[in-house]
């Protein structure tokens, strides 16, 4: 990670922490730390750093940028959704993903388990992703617009989405996905602050701060209206072609 990336994430976390506290957070008191570009570690260096306890230098940095962001999310009380949650659902997946999948918010099962897309819609999402060789434990990260379950699985209110937005921005900055797949209108509308939803935008390649974005139906919407599974499959093929243009052998 570069120095500039670290500064950006630091500032996003400070903003979120200040908002959480309602005043200047003591966690970020004083001057900003001096950040440096990360140094690439060779396999030989990693082997040398294994020192009897079974942990490598790479393992010792488990408190990564994304894990620090997710810890801040776990502490969040910036909107009223926190009052009804069983668990916060920051996201899950690999830390250097090929694709970032963004949904709208946790449902009942996600709230119980603290993981995104684990209910019936999540099972369908996993099938959709695997059809184009994407997996949450291999090359994807899955997150939502809001990190706590809205009551009765309603759509997040604008103020709830705005309260969570610094965390999503920080996740995108830390993860650096090659491409983003928006699952549903709530995701794409909030990502772009737009009124245009899935019916108009699905299958199109959009741009979010230099990251290509494709939109398709949310899996829960496909469970309610299976007739949209065919156009959703066409959207996924567009996304796969996009990824192959970025990483030609990702599906091998």
Q: Which domains does the chain have, with CATH numbers?
A: 1-62 (no CATH), 87-246 (3.40.470.10)
Q: Whole-prediction pTM value? A: 0.77
Q: Give me the DSSP letters along the chain.
A: --HHHHHHHHHHHHHHHHHHHTS--GGG-SSPPPP-PPPP--HHHHHHH--SSS--TTGGG-S-HHHHHHHHHHT--SSGGGGG-SS----EE-SS-SEEEEES---HHHHHHT-SS-SHHHHHHHHHHHTTT--TTTTEEEEESSSSPPGGGPPPPHHHHHHHHHHHHHHHHHH--SEEEEESHHHHHHHHT-S--HHHHBT-EEEETTEEEEEE--HHHHHH-GGGHHHHHHHHHHHHHHHHHHSTTTT-
Q: Give the pLDDT confidence score for residue 15 in this predicted structure.
A: 77
Question: pLDDT tens, 37-69?
Answer: 543 433 323 232 333 333 333 333 447 999 999
Walk along the chain (252 residues) and give the pLDDT tens digit of each residue: 677 777 777 777 777 667 666 666 666 666 677 665 543 433 323 232 333 333 333 333 447 999 999 999 999 999 999 999 999 999 999 999 999 999 999 999 999 999 999 999 999 999 999 999 999 999 999 999 999 999 999 999 999 999 999 999 999 999 999 999 999 999 999 999 999 999 999 999 999 999 999 999 999 999 999 999 999 999 999 999 999 999 999 988
């Amino acid at each position: 990670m570069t120095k500039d990336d670290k500064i950006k994430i630091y500032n996003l976390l400070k903003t979120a922490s200040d908002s959480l506290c309602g005043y200047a957070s003591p966690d970020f008191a004083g001057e900003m730390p001096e950040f440096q570009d990360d140094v690439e570690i060779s396999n030989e260096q990693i082997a040398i750093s294994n020192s009897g306890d079974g942990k490598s230098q790479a393992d010792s940095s488990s408190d990564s940028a994304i894990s620090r962001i997710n810890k801040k999310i776990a502490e969040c009380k910036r909107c009223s959704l926190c009052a009804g949650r069983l668990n916060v659902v920051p996201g899950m997946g690999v830390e250097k993903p090929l694709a970032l999948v963004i949904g709208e918010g946790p449902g009942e099962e996600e709230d119980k388990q603290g993981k995104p897309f684990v209910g019936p819609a999540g099972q369908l999402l996993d099938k959709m992703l695997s059809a184009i060789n994407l997996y949450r434990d291999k090359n994807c990260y899955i997150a939502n617009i809001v990190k706590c379950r809205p009551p009765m699985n309603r759509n997040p209110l604008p103020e709830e989405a705005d309260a969570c937005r610094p965390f999503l921005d920080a996740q995108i900055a830390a993860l650096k996905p090659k491409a983003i797949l928006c699952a549903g209108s709530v995701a794409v509308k909030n990502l772009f602050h737009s009124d245009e939803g899935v019916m108009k935008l699905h299958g199109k390649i959009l741009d979010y701060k230099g990251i290509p974005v494709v939109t398709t139906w949310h899996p829960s919407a496909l469970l309610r209206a299976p007739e949209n599974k065919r156009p959703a499959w066409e959207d996924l093929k567009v996304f796969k072609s996009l990824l192959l243009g970025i990483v030609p052998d990702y599906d091998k």
